[in-house]
């Protein structure tokens, strides 16, 4: 089989992966392509339901799914996650650090049209603790989890392959951190100040970690999804809980993102196809950031 044949270039069969804040886009893409996936979510999340769905997808791919609860808001909780993986594996090929939260101000307004007093009141209503929690999950958790599992990622990259090459040459030993296009633009019809700030920090964290891990070529990459429906970003109604309203219609792609849009990029980054990508983030936004900066 030629090295450029798609089933070779993008193969992740048999690779060990950990996904935090497990979501359909990442879990499905990994499991259906033969990876051994550990899904780590909050105790309040429907872990059993997610794992049950994933197990229906394993089929002939050989992929597997195991879920367990986790706390990513402290070093102790993150060490618990690392310990859980070490109990079952001696290396980790893929870390998808995806957990995130968004905390909007309780007093909302249209930031593009609100009078000064109304805007100031809305911005001030943001809870101080919400900023702290947002940084704990959206930025700090990526840092501590990547560090806690660095040796296992390095071991995956250093594994000798049947052809005499190393695992790193095939894309093994990689961290993919989820950010957001909220870090890349300033104009929005809602106030996501704390969220966007943590995501901007996360973008820089990708480069910082990549530089620190480079001696072992443990790759660190980021993704910046745009409008993709999930529990944090309900879409489709154009009103109420759908805070993005008609913004999706202004995206050049004229649609929200779907499972394939994210899964495809992740499969590229964690396979041989993306083995030469390091310290970079990829926007998956249908062109949103082409018009979002300084414009409505």
pLDDT tens for 231-256 read 655 555 444 445 565 677 778 888 88
| Whether 69 contacts 48, CB under 8 Å | no
pLDDT at 69 over 60: yes
- Position 225 in a domain: yes
On average, the pLDDT of the chain sits at 87
- Whether 274 is covered by a domain: the verdict is yes
Q: Which percentage of the chain shows pLDDT scores above 90?
A: 59
pLDDT beyond 80 at 204: yes
Q: How many domains does the chain have?
A: 1
Q: Is residue 118 part of a domain?
A: no
What burial class does residue 32 get, using C-beta atoms within 10 Å of its C-beta: 0-12 exposed, 13-18 middle, 19+ buried?
middle
Tokens of 133: 């929690």
Distance, in Å, from the CA atom of 142 to the CA atom of 139, rounded to the nearest integer, reads 6
Q: Which domain holds residue 80?
A: 6-104+137-230+256-292
Is residue 209 a contact partner of residue 154, using CB atoms and an 8 Å limit? no
Within-domain flag for 237: no
What are the phi and psi torsion angles at 262 (to 5°)?
-80, -45
Residue 221 backbone phi and psi in degrees, to 5: -130, 160
Judge whether 114 lies within some domain. no
Rounded Cα–Cα distance for residues 163 and 3 (Å): 12
Closest CA to 219 of 266, 289, 160: 266
Which distant-in-sequence residues (6+ apart) come within 8 Å of 283 by Cβ? 181, 184, 223, 224, 226, 289
The answer to whether residue 202 sits within a structural domain is yes
What CA–CA distance (Å, rounded) separates 78 from 286?
34
Q: What is the pLDDT of residue 249?
A: 75
Between CA 70 and CA 165 the distance in angstroms is 35
pTM metric for this prediction? 0.91
| 112, pLDDT greater than 90 | no
Which of 79-83, 180-184, 254-258 shows the lowest per-residue confidence on average (mean pLDDT)? 254-258
Question: What percent of the chain has pLDDT above 70?
Answer: 88
pLDDT tier, 113 (very low <50, low <70, confident <90, very high otherwise): confident
Q: Return d(Cα 178, Cα 225) in angstroms, integer.
A: 8
Q: Which long-range contacts (CB under 8 A, 24 or more apart) does 192-197 make?
A: 192/102, 192/104, 193/105, 193/123, 193/126, 194/103, 194/126, 194/130, 194/131, 194/134, 195/101, 195/102, 195/103, 195/104, 195/134, 195/138, 197/131, 197/134
The separation between CA 47 and the C-alpha centre of its own chain, rounded to angstroms, equals 17
Q: Which of 18-27, 38-47, 240-249 has the lowest mean pLDDT?
A: 240-249
What CATH number does residue 220 fall under? 3.40.50.720
pLDDT band at 121 (very low <50, low <70, confident <90, very high): very high
Question: Token pair for residue 63?
Answer: 């992929």
Greatest alpha-carbon pair distance for the chain in Å reads 67
Phi and psi torsions of 17, nearest 5°? -135, 145
Flag whether 73 is in a domain: yes
Give yes or no for residue 296 having a pLDDT over 80.
no
User: Which of 113, 105, 111, 112 minimizes the C-alpha distance to 129?
Assistant: 105
Identify whether 267 is part of a domain. Answer: yes
Contact 182, 102 (CB under 8 A): no
Whether pLDDT at 183 is above 80:
yes
């Amino acid at each position: 089989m030629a090295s450029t044949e798609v089933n070779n270039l993008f193969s992740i069969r048999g690779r060990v992966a950990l996904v935090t804040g497990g979501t359909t886009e990442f879990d499905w893409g990994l499991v259906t392509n033969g990876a051994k996936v550990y899904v780590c979510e909050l105790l309040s999340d429907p872990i059993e339901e997610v794992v049950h769905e994933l197990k229906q997808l394993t089929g002939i791919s050989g992929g597997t799914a195991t879920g367990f609860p986790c706390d990513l808001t402290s070093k102790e909780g993150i060490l618990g996650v690392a310990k859980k993986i070490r109990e079952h594996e001696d290396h980790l090929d893929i870390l998808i650090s995806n957990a995130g939260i968004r905390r909007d101000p309780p007093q909302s307004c249209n930031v593009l049209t609100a009078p000064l007093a109304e805007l100031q009141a809305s911005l001030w209503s943001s809870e101080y603790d919400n900023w702290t929690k947002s940084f704990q999950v959206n930025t700090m958790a990526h840092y501590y989890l990547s560090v806690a599992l660095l040796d296992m990622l390095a071991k995956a990259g250093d594994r000798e392959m049947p052809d005499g090459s190393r695992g790193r040459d095939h894309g093994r030993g990689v961290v993919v951190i989820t950010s957001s296009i909220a870090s890349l633009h300033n104009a929005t019809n809602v106030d996501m100040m704390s969220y966007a700030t943590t995501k901007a920090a996360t973008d820089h964290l990708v480069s910082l970690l990549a530089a620190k891990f480079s001696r072992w070529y443990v790759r660190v990459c980021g993704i910046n999804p745009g409008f993709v429906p999930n529990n944090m970003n309900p879409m489709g109604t154009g009103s109420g809980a759908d805070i993005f309203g008609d913004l999706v219609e202004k995206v050049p792609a004229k649609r929200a993102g779907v499972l394939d849009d994210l899964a495809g990029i992740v499969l590229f980054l964690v396979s041989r196809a993306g083995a030469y990508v390091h310290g970079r983030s990829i926007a998956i936004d249908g062109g949103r950031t082409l018009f979002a900066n300084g414009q409505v």
